[in-house]
Amino acid sequence: MELIDREKNETDVNMLSPLTWAYIGDAVYELYIRTNLVNNTKLKPHKLHIESIKYVKAKAQADILKSIEEKLSNHEKDIVRRARNAENHHLPKNANPADYMYSTAFEGLIGYLYLTKQDERLKEILKMCVE
């Protein structure tokens, strides 16, 4: 039994906007980071929040994507490219536009892998983010 029912098949997921992948990816990644911190530290909630920001801010996500890009398959690189180039009318307030585009691409990849139920690959990539 899955905690959250992911009903869409890969064809349906491919029809979604890459910004929708990023929307889901943002939540999946943040939950992963928060859970990882709770499992591996004894920090109190405020300190957990401060520590998690180091991983979830746009610059950090952009840097992570750049560091793992060579380990991605061609299909994953295509997902990243689609998410990075998606037209987003939201202007970042705490990030430069290039970092914001790369963080959206990173979140898009995470969301795509999650929605297409590629859980083993998703775990591999998430583990690379905290090493």
Q: Which residues are catalytic?
A: 26
Quick one: CA torsion of 105, 111, 116, 120, rounded to 10 degrees? 90
- Residue 103 CA to residue 57 CA, distance in Å, equals 8
Other CB atoms within 10 A of residue 44 CB: 8
Q: Are 106 and 64 in contact (CB under 8 A)?
A: yes
Cα gap 51→22, rounded to integer Å: 22
